[in-house]
Amino acid sequence: MIESKAQVEQWMGVFAAVKEQVGKVIVGQQDVVEQILWCIFTGGHALLEGIPGLGKTMLVRTIADALDLPFSRIQFTPDLMPADITGTNIIQFGAKGETSYQFQAGPIFGSLILADEINRATPKTQSALLEAMQEKTVTIGSTTHRLPRPFFVLATQNPLENEGTYPLPEAQLDRFLLKINVSFPTKEELKEIIVRTTSAYNAAADTVANGRMLEDIQRGAKDILVADDVLDYALQLLMMTHATEAQAPDSVRKYVRYGSGPRGLQSIVSVSKIRALSMGRLHVSVGDIQKVAVPALRHRIFLNFEGQAMSVSTDTLVQDIIDALEKNR
């Protein structure tokens, strides 16, 4: 709950401090860092996509250091089994030969989970994360184990064109609050990366927040106001991702099999509240909606055969919708 303007300014300072600490280790990628922090401060999960070697793993580890969160890394491989993630019951033998089962927790029992190269594993193993991401619990046999709080999954994946990748199930994609594209660095950024990684440079992020503070901010963000006209704008944006919507752009009607479900709208509104709060505002603007729409919807729009054959970008489709809405305002 927001109690004063001073509290909002304090939370703004936390957001800025985390970005500053990450910048000590990670070169560039300001948009990526900002979007990851939107996810974490909202309390959701993020899917990071980019070619290998762009520092995705280092970025997540650095954020865990800055937020003082128990960090756990799971390397996904084709032979990884669900029990390797969630844990399993093991047999214990007593002094007189009696047996009992004891639960041995898997690496999912942490606060910030890095699911590295998640689409290298088979769909069966990928689905082991579904309950954890949605319910914050893990069920082994007939027993349900609660995960630590706060709990976030930051998953990285290689582009689907890469060899040895498995597309994530649509139900699991929908569990990610945002899908964040990690782009190749510029020449200047690449030069700085080489300087840092081939010299004695050894910066590390200082701790500037903790799990309890994150939960306070998450609760406070729920008090950020969303005016009816702004909510209607977000609703119309979501509806226009469907080819059956009368006002949908021609590109959507031509290339989209089906558009985003309700979680897309939930993501847009909740992330927009955090963005507004991080900028010291107590209300969500249309600009906030537009800014978060692409990462919130790019993985929730599914192309038809023609769209896939033409390699249509869902980012372009969302931008077409925003442009169409702007013409009608």
pLDDT in tens, 287-312: 999 999 999 999 999 999 998 888 88
Number of domains in the chain: 2
Is there a domain that residue 181 lies in? yes
Q: Is residue 155 part of a domain?
A: yes
Contact in structure between 126 and 165 (CB atoms under 8 Å): no
Q: Are residues 3 and 16 in the same domain?
A: yes
Query: Where does a domain end: 197, 222, 247?
Result: 222
CA dist., res. 15 & res. 213, Å (int): 11
What is the CATH number for 245?
A: 1.10.8.80
Considering the domain architecture, whether residues 314 and 165 belong to the same structural domain is answered as no
Q: What is each CA distance from 303 to 250, 255, 319, in whole angstroms?
A: 14, 6, 15
Instruction: Sort strands 178-181 and 302-303 into parallel, antiparallel or unpaired.
Output: unpaired
Q: Are residues 13 and 140 in the same domain?
A: yes
Q: Are 96 and 138 in contact (CB under 8 A)?
A: no
Rounded Cα distance, 81 and 74, in Å: 11
Candidates 48, 33, 10; CA nearest to 208 is 10
36 and 123 share one domain: yes
Instruction: Report, as an integer, the average pLDDT of 120-141.
Output: 81
Q: What is the pLDDT of residue 163?
A: 57
Strands (E), the chain: 46-49, 71-75, 87-93, 99-105, 112-116, 137-140, 143-146, 152-157, 178-181, 256-258, 302-303
Same domain membership, residue 38 and residue 11 = yes
pLDDT of residue 234: 94
Alpha carbon distance 12, 278 (integer Å): 5
Task: Tell me the C-alpha distance between 230 and 166, whole Å.
Answer: 38
d(CA 284, CA 274): 9
Same domain, 228 and 195: no
48 within domain boundaries = yes
Name the pLDDT band for 1 (thresholds 50, 70, 90).
low
- Of 222, 241, 257, the last residue of a domain is 222
- Residue ending a domain, among 169, 201, 222, is 222
Q: pTM score, two decimals? A: 0.87
Tens of pLDDT, residue by residue over 174-206, are: 889 999 988 888 888 888 888 887 887 777 777
Is-contact 253 307, C-beta < 8 A?
no
Task: Identify the domain containing residue 308 by its residue range.
Answer: 224-329
pLDDT for residue 125 is more than 90: no
- Given a cut of 70, is residue 3 above it in pLDDT? no
Range 23-49 average pLDDT:
87
In a domain, 168, yes or no: yes
Q: Which pLDDT tens digit goes with each residue over 144-182?
A: 888 888 888 888 887 765 556 677 778 788 889 999 988
Do 146 and 48 belong to one domain? Answer: yes
Q: Is residue 95 part of a domain?
A: no
Domain-embedded: residue 103: no
Statement: residue 54 has pLDDT above 80: no
At 9 the pLDDT is 80
* Most confident of the following: 20-24, 113-117, 118-122, 292-296: 292-296
DSSP string, 145-176: EEPPSS-EEEEEE--TTSTT--PPPHHHHTT-
Question: How many Cα atoms sit within 13 Å of 71 on the Cβ side?
Answer: 17
Same domain, 319 and 229: yes
In a domain, 100, yes or no: no
Residues 60-75: tens digit of each pLDDT: 888 888 888 888 888 8
Residues 304 and 320 in one domain: yes
What is the distance between the alpha carbons of residues 135 and 154, in angstroms, rounded to a whole number? Answer: 16
Give yes or no: residues 38 and 160 share one domain.
yes
Q: In terms of domains, do 116 and 56 share one? A: yes
180 near 32, Cβ under 8 Å? Answer: yes
Q: What is the pLDDT of residue 238?
A: 94
> Are 229 and 209 in a shared domain?
no
Reduced to 3 states, what is the DSSP secondary structure of residue 60? helix
